[in-house]
């Protein structure tokens, strides 16, 4: 029974995530348009709300061109693997005390790191199977970037684990109850860990300023160069999903999950907790990605790796040590 329930929740949540990811394209386009002083989509539906539907319909009609020299099987399945892997990340997100698939998995965060690290594989395979030089360069960049940024991502992700004393996602949220959100408490390490984690997540999800695997002004489309029609869309959607799940993970680890700011003042009810707070936090952190993306240019690949190995990894190591000392001395764990 509980398995069937989990399955049902999973299907519903997964579809919702796909839905949100598709609609976030509308949101991103509107957001970017305001940044660029233009109106953005206005024609399809009220304020262009149905634009993703129209885009989807158009893209479904596009021919899927598979290059003759491509590895057909890998070429076609890699986007599906990417999307499936990203959706698997949603499994351990606790959306509220009751909503979630496996929020009580005792290795929740490990699951996110492990599956997240696997996601470089479909990216790399997509580039390799295309048999295109630009896609190959993109794939290599993608591998180098993901492998490097995995390290500080993991190390900064260890900070909330230390503070909460658990890998379990809903326990991490429970440890932040009462306004002790890890982004603000302990002052300093929490905020820094959030910054590092967020930065590395951007790199993991290939967003500007770290989007060098698909730097379209250099590599045309990077790994996605040869992917057309729906398989290209699925690859893009997987990236959006990855960004979305990153935002959700950040909200869980650093911003108290489903707890609302009402709880700080001893209030109860919908101001203090609920699904809506988690969704709101996720969407705000998601929008932050757009803001960064549409404001900055991108780094060069060697500069990108230099930032990681020279600054982010030492910083996250130091942060981890400081947090460990804090936990030992102040909280006396």
Residues that bind another protein (CB under 8 A): 32, 35-38, 133-134, 137, 208-209, 211-212, 215-220, 293-303
**Closer residue to another protein, CB minimum distance, 302 or 331:** 302
Comparing CA positions, the residue from 186, 125, 199, 119 lying closest to residue 157 is: 199
Minimum distance from CB of 302 to another protein (Å)? Answer: 7
**Closer residue to another protein, CB minimum distance, 276 or 300:** 300
Neighbouring C-alpha atoms within 13 Å toward the C-beta of 20 = 21
Minimum distance from CB of 296 to another protein (Å)? Answer: 4
Distance CA 302, CA 293 (A): 20
Minimum distance from CB of 65 to another protein (Å)? Answer: 16
**Closer residue to another protein, CB minimum distance, 213 or 274:** 213
Minimum distance from CB of 225 to another protein (Å)? Answer: 11
DSSP 8-state symbol, 160: H
Minimum distance from CB of 37 to another protein (Å)? Answer: 7
- What does the block give as tokens for 67? 């290059």
The full DSSP string for 228-247 is: -HHHHHHHHHHHHHHHHHHH
**Closer residue to another protein, CB minimum distance, 85 or 209:** 209
* Cα 182 to chain centroid, rounded: 19
Minimum distance from CB of 58 to another protein (Å)? Answer: 18
Distance CA 292, CA 295 (A): 5
> % helix / strand / coil in the chain, to the nearest 5?
70, 0, 30
Distance CA 227, CA 77 (A): 11
Distance CA 136, CA 124 (A): 8
- What does the block give as tokens for 209? 């300023």
**Closer residue to another protein, CB minimum distance, 40 or 116:** 40
Helix or strand or coil: residue 275? helix
């Amino acid at each position: 029974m509980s398995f069937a329930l989990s399955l049902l929740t999973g299907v519903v949540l997964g579809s919702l995530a796909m839905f949100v990811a598709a609609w976030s394209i509308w949101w991103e386009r509107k957001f970017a348009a305001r940044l660029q002083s233009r109106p953005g989509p206005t024609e399809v539906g009220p304020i262009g709300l149905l634009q993703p539907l129209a885009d989807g319909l158009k893209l479904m009609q596009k021919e899927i061109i598979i290059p003759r020299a491509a590895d057909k099987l890998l070429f076609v399945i890699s986007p599906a693997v990417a999307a499936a892997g990203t959706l698997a990340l949603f499994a351990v997100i606790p959306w509220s005390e009751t909503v979630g698939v496996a929020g009580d998995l005792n290795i929740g965060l490990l699951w996110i790191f492990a599956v997240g690290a696997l996601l470089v594989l479909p990216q790399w395979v997509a580039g390799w199977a295309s048999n295109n030089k630009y896609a190959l360069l993109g794939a290599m960049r993608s591998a180098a970037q993901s492998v490097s940024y995995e390290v500080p991502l993991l190390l900064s992700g260890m900070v909330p684990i230390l503070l909460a004393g658990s890998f379990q996602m809903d326990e991490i949220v429970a440890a932040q109850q009462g306004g002790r959100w890890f982004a603000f408490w302990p002052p300093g390490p929490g905020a820094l860990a959030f910054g590092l984690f967020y930065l590395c997540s951007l790199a993991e999800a290939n967003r500007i300023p770290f989007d060098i695997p698909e730097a379209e002004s250099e590599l045309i489309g990077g790994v996605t160069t040869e992917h057309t029609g729906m398989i290209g869309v699925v690859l893009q959607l997987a990236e959006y999903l990855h960004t979305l799940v990153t935002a959700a993970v950040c909200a869980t680890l650093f911003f108290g999950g489903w707890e609302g700011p009402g709880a700080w003042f001893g209030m109860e009810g919908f101001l203090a907790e609920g699904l809506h707070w988690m969704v709101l936090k996720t969407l705000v952190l998601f929008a932050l990605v757009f803001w960064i993306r549409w404001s900055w240019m991108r780094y060069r690949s060697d500069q990108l790796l230099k930032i990681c190995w020279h600054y982010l990894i030492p910083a996250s190591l130091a942060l981890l040590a400081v947090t460990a000392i804090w936990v030992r001395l102040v909280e006396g764990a």
